[in-house]
Structure 1
Amino acid sequence: MAITTPGMTPGQLTTRDVSSLLPTQPEVAKAEAATTPSPCADDITQQGVQAAQRSLTDDPAPAIDVEKVNQMQTLLASPQFSIDADALASSMLEFFKTRGA
């Protein structure tokens, strides 16, 4: 049984019918994604290293305050400066417990 449309010959498509046969934008994107290989972990790592190298060469080095560094070194070497390791460890544990890490 053949279906005919008035004013059309068999096998002829209207413009609307042709456009409905073309893939939509999401279908095209899916097809391209399916044919494009996904990068492997080594590629991703290499891209990260390259990005880090670019940022190091693009950004000027920060100015170092030599006087401040010398003051800190002197303070750290002096007996006036001490670290309570137990208090520091407790504080770190509490910090990570409350943050859900």
Structure 2
Amino acid sequence: MFDGLRKLWRAKKSAPAEDDRVQGHSSPRRARNLFEAAAVYVAACAEDDRDEMDEAAGWVSPEALSFGVSELACRAVIALARERDEPPRDVARSLLGLPAA
């Protein structure tokens, strides 16, 4: 699942949309939203890429990043629980290496 997010981010990063560019310039100049920041931050954490983590953390406030990471975690646990046909609580505990409740 995170590989898909990572690939999507890299594809988007390498080819910014036309409306993301400043008129007459090639550099992107758009605000990142908290979910984009969270996706990049978490993927960078998984890859141990400190530079990318720092960049994503600078896109939004620390509070917004925290909310985005929490939302991403919830969605990831729900997706894995559906995939595994297990309760979200069991999946979350498993991901953290905790014994079954």
The TM-score, its normalising length taken from structure 1, stands at 0.23
Structure whose CA Rg is larger = 1
Highest RCO, 1 vs 2 (Cα 8 Å, sep ≥ 6): 2
